Amino acid sequence: MYEDLDDVGLIVRSRHEPEVFGALFERHAEAMLAFFARRTLDAESAAELVAETFAEAFSSRDRFRDQGVDGAAWLYGIGRHLLSRYFRSGAVDARARGRLGMPERNVTESDYERIEELIDFEGIGLQLRGAMATLGENERETVTLRVIDRRSYREIADVLGCTEPTARARVSRGLRRIASRLETDEADTPIELEKQRWKRRSTT
Amino acid sequence: METAIDYLNQVHEDLVDAARRERADLHPVQGRPPRRMPAMGLVAAVVSVLVVAGLIGSGIFGGTEAERGSAVPADGGASTGATGATGGAEAGADEDAATAPAPTPGEIADLSEGGGREAPSADLTRVIRTAEISIVIPRDTFDERFGQAFDAAEASGGFVADSSYADEGGTPRGTFVLRVPAARFGEVLRQVEGLGTVQRRQISGQDVTEEFIDLEARVRNLERQEARLLTFMDRATKIPDLMAIENEVARVRGEIERLTGRLRFLANRVDLATIQAEVSQKPKKAPGGFWDFNRTIARIQAAFLNTVRELLAVAEGLVAFGAAVLPLVLLGALGWGLVRRSLRRADRAA
């Protein structure tokens, strides 16, 4: 649906036909999930960030101005903003979803696996290794089992003699710590470039 | 949308739902008054629901909903909290409920496609109503009054879910639980209260509209997911793939069953309100007269027994004290004996 419209077209049209915004979600949600997953290294937070970003974008689509800017850049701008708030507070906002009456959803077992696949741990292996050194022994061991050995949470729980939720919590905590370090290392992410381009365009 | 990640599918669905709600605000259904007038909104909603009910040809929601809609104001002050959700558009969550009553033409079309099972999404606010009361009835009227309460329940189209009666030490007590159609709730409650004197009354309304909408959306998602999995299954060529898909289908189906079970349970709770009553009898009057001989006897008996009990307690204390002191006395005696012996020896030596 709406293949003939570009992102900007979709956003503009969705002002009078709200459902059209769904097409924007279809186009970008999965890529954005990968974007957040690589930065948060946490499936649940990444998923929630996607939901919140689109909720926020939907609420503020009237404020979008067509200045020749890529619609995706606008979306990612909102996402980026929410991401930095997430790194500061450690929790994903639910305000925009609340305003729209969207329920908070749970990330299922199988989703966890699929989202972690999006992270592509090998691709960011080098940076990861440096950041791993900053973790405590317990966390490092758990993260290693999960991320490098690709063991299931059940196996990890067996190996370390803890429960599955504990294993998941340790991985998530460890990855969050790594993520906040990666974040400081990472200035020229695609979205930064996108933003710079956006600034250039809006000033000219 | 085409993704294997359930979460994204759910959010997509939520976003489209939010968009539909907004569209309902942008292009109101013809003749639909502004939201600030809940009473008229309600009437419009009832009409819409009737239209929907007619369209889908399902008799389940038609009659009771219309009756419930008209009965809401008749229940008086006690239940305003329960039905207040229609007017409570200020809370974010209630916006669902406030916009839900009047379906857009698109939604109605959806409903006619989806069949009877989808009907609740166009429903009125869903509230589970419960009343708990304690009443006191005149002496020796238990059978009669219980009978009246049960008749009232059955006459309204409800039933007696539970009843018990016990007579302990001359103070009979009973309880019963009536389930009555939500539309007749106020009427039956008044009849039950008329059986005696009301000592306590608690009426509560739990708004489950949001849970309803949420559950329905989840069921829709899961059914979509199931359909997708089944097409994968057709395409699968390897046994392990097939097994994995089959497991996933079983899981999704289980989840659908669980959620629809919950939906059915909620629908039952909403359709049938609950009245719980505790019934007791007026207490016996205290015997009159200027002297109560029995009471005097009881007091004498109590006084005597009290003294005996105290004496026994003192005796018990003394025995215990003796037992505690005994080892010390023995030790002292032994020591004294030794000292005397050594003194005597010293005397003899001198």
The answer to whether position A128 is within a domain reads: yes
A29 neighbourhood in chain B, CB within 8 Å: 1, 3, 8, 11-12
Same domain, A99 and A176: no
The answer to whether position A112 is within a domain reads: no
pTM for the complete prediction? 0.38
The answer to whether position A113 is within a domain reads: no
The answer to whether position A85 is within a domain reads: yes
Same domain, A11 and A101: yes
Domain residues for the domain of A44 are 7-106+188-203
* pLDDT value at residue B1: 65
Q: Which residue of A102, A110, A112, A115 to mutate against B (max B Cβ within 10 Å)?
A: A102
Can you give chain B as a three-state secondary structure string? CCCCCHHHHHHHHHHHHHHHHHHHHHCCCCCCCCCCCHHHHHHHHHHHHHHHHHHHCCHHHHHHHHHHHHHCHHHCHHHHHHHHHHCCCCCCCHHHHHHCCCCCHHHHHHHHHHCHHHHHHHCCCCEEEEEEEEEEECCCCHHHHHHHHHHHHHHCCCEEEEEEEEEECCEEEEEEEEEEEHHHHHHHHHHHHCCCEEEEEEEEEEECHHHHHHHHHHHHHHHHHHHHHHHHHHHCCCHHHHHHHHHHHHHHHHHHHHHHHHHHHHHHHHHEEEEEEEEEECCCCCCCCCCCHHHHHHHHHHHHHHHHHHHHHHHHHHHHHHHHHHHHHHHHHHHHHHHHHHHHHHHHHC
| CATH number of A199's domain | 1.10.1740
Q: How many CB pairs under 8 A join A and B?
A: 93
- For B11, the closest of A51, A98, A115 (CB atoms) is A51
* Range with lowest mean pLDDT among A8-17, A21-30, B117-126, B290-299: B117-126
Same domain, A52 and A92: yes
Q: Which of residues 25-44 of A touch B (CB under 8 A)?
A: 25-26, 29-30, 33
Q: How far is A12 from chain B (nearest CA, A)?
A: 14
Same domain, A129 and A172: yes
Same domain, A129 and A180: yes
Same domain, A137 and A86: no
Q: How far is B18 from chain A (nearest CA, A)?
A: 6
Q: Quick one: average pLDDT of B115-140?
A: 68
Q: Quick one: average pLDDT of B134-144?
A: 84
| CATH number of A160's domain | 1.10.10.10
For chain B, the average pLDDT equals: 74
Structurally, chain A folds into a number of domains equal to 2
Interface contact B11-A114, CB threshold 8 A: no
B211, pLDDT greater than 60: yes
Encoded amino acid at A78, one letter:
I
Q: How far is A130 from chain B (nearest CA, A)?
A: 31
Same domain, A68 and A169: no
Same domain, A195 and A134: no
B283, pLDDT greater than 60: yes
* pLDDT value at residue A106: 85
Same domain, A26 and A91: yes
Chain A contact for B14 (CB, 8 A cutoff): yes
B77, pLDDT greater than 80: no
